[in-house]
Amino acid sequence: MKKKFVITWLMFKDKSSLYAPILVLLLVAASFYIGRLSAQLSATKSGTPTEKAAVTPTPTESQISVAKLKVMAKGLGLDTNKFNKCLDDGTKADTVKAQTTEGADFGVSGTPSFFINGILVVGSQPQTEFEKVIDAELKNGTGDEVKLSSGEVATRVAKIPYGVGYIKGSKNATIKIMEYTDFECPYCNKAFPTIEALLAKYGNKISLEYRSYPLPFHADAQKAAEAALCAGEQGKFWEMHDKMFTVMAGN
């Protein structure tokens, strides 16, 4: 009987020695899991984000999203039912497309692009560059080219069809500026106060005429261009134009 007990104990001892490493690994894994749960619970209570609690930031809504354009229209006192229907239905989409095509035909490839009595000045130039072209035109006319201080050459192109769009200033101004612009373009936003300063300085001697030229990689530019024209139907084109540039310049 004693011999049988010894043999049984030895067999149990041998089996225990085989299972011991497995038991140790299981205990280590369990301890790690329990520790991780405890850390996550503590982090949740303290308000500290964990990996699982991490959330991808929501993109900031554009200042000229369709929703915000409608809010602007309301703030300007427009009939919002008419404005919203015009914008949602894409009533002005064909006009925007036609103006963009017209600009491309005159050599516009980017924004902002300005035609000062037909002389093409590209980009958000310093005010002095615009004044150089304007002053020369007011004095004797500039010929076909004007060399800017930056070294760029502003060239007179084919006759521009002034007087058929929305105009700020006198329609009979000696200096007519036509701008092809994009409300989402940062350079157009930068140029906005420069053009406003020129209008204030030269008074009735100059005028500004608007043309749509939304760039395809600006998500909100197309609808913003349509919004300006929709506001124009109610006599508040420039109010919407200026408001959009003002809020975008403030970004």
- Give the model's pLDDT for residue 151: 81
At residue 212's C-alpha, the angle toward residues 175 and 171, to 5°, is: 30
Reference 130, options 200, 212, 194, 213; nearest CA is 194
What's the CA gap between 204 and 26, in Å, rounded?
Answer: 88
Residue 29 vs residue 224, higher pLDDT: 224
What's the CA gap between 132 and 142, in Å, rounded?
Answer: 10
What's the CA gap between 61 and 152, in Å, rounded?
Answer: 37
pLDDT digits (tens, 9 = 90+) for 155-206: 888 788 999 999 999 999 999 999 999 999 999 999 999 999 999 999 999 9
Element (H, E) at 192: helix 186-202
* Contact yes or no for 208/214 (Cβ under 8 A): no
| For residue 112, cis peptide bond before it (omega within 30 degrees of 0) | yes
Q: Which of 28-32, 138-142, 144-148, 237-241 has the highest mean pLDDT?
A: 237-241
**Burial category of 47 from C-beta neighbours within 10 Å (exposed 0-12, middle 13-18, buried 19 and up):** exposed
What's the CA gap between 222 and 97, in Å, rounded?
Answer: 9
pLDDT band at 34 (very low <50, low <70, confident <90, very high): very low
For the chain, the domains span 1-55, 66-249
pLDDT band at 26 (very low <50, low <70, confident <90, very high): low
* Contact yes or no for 125/193 (Cβ under 8 A): no
pLDDT digits (tens, 9 = 90+) for 84-124: 999 999 999 999 999 999 999 999 999 999 999 999 999 99
- Give the model's pLDDT for residue 32: 43
> At residue 24, does pLDDT exceed 80?
no
Residue 148 vs residue 241, higher pLDDT: 241
The Cβ of residue 131 has, within 10 Å, a number of other Cβ atoms equal to 16
Element (H, E) at 42: helix 2-46
Q: Spell out the CATH class of 66-249.
A: alpha beta
- Give the model's pLDDT for residue 22: 52
* Contact yes or no for 219/184 (Cβ under 8 A): yes
> At residue 44, does pLDDT exceed 60?
no
What's the whole-number average pLDDT of the chain?
Answer: 82
Residue 231 vs residue 10, higher pLDDT: 231
- Give the model's pLDDT for residue 181: 98
What's the CA gap between 82 and 97, in Å, rounded?
Answer: 21
What's the CA gap between 170 and 153, in Å, rounded?
Answer: 28
